[in-house]
Amino acid sequence: MDRWVVYAYLAMAFAGVTSVVAKLGLTGISGELGLTVRTLFVTVFVLGFAALAVSRAEVQQLTCTNWVWLGVSGLATAASWVFYYKAIKDGEVSTVNLIDRGSIVVVVLLAWLVLGERPSWKVAAGTGLILAGLLVVSRK
């Protein structure tokens, strides 16, 4: 198995843990405060990780384009987290997470339109099944 596949599965596992423990952490507080506390922990961890894993030479290679696109990504992440925390505060974390993971449909579409990635028949079929699942989960 390629290393990136292992990383993807680890990301999946940690994302699943994140959702459940976040719901536990929201007991008695607002989603906004919970998100703020979580983000502080993420910031400290990521800065520590970067201090260990990123060389000064690599930091100096950052371009304006890097800053702009990563900044846009950061804004999209912040918006996603704000709405996710609002949703898990009041909703069932399992249902909210299923809907949230439907972002793969957006990823496949944008990867095709923006990056020129052509989805294989397997990716297209899987995306279709995810879309069908979203319709099942979100209907009453």
In a domain, 80, yes or no: yes
pTM: 0.83
Six-digit token string for 2? 């390629």
In a domain, 71, yes or no: yes
At residue 138, the pLDDT reads: 83
At residue 139, the pLDDT reads: 80
In a domain, 135, yes or no: no
Boundaries of domain holding 53: 3-101
In a domain, 33, yes or no: yes
In a domain, 137, yes or no: no
CA-based Rg of the chain, rounded to a whole angstrom? Answer: 18
Six-digit token string for 113? 């339109």
- Residues 81-140: pLDDT tens digits? 999 999 999 999 988 988 998 999 999 999 999 999 999 999 999 999 999 999 998 886
Those residues whose C-beta lies under 8 Å from the C-beta of residue 69, and which sit 6 or more positions away, are none
At residue 12, the pLDDT reads: 87
In a domain, 129, yes or no: no
**Chain mean pLDDT for the chain:** 93
At residue 1, the pLDDT reads: 76
Q: If you average pLDDT over residues 64-79, what whole number do you get?
A: 95
In a domain, 106, yes or no: no
Please check the confidence at residue 41 and state whether its pLDDT lies above 90. Answer: yes
Straight-line distance from the first to the last Cα atom of the chain, in angstroms, rounded to the nearest whole number: 40
At residue 65, the pLDDT reads: 96
Report how many domains make up the chain.
Answer: 1
Six-digit token string for 122? 């397997």
Give the count of beta carbons closer than 10 Å to the beta carbon of residue 109: 12
In degrees, to the nearest 5, what angle opens at C-alpha 36 toward C-alphas 90 and 75? 95
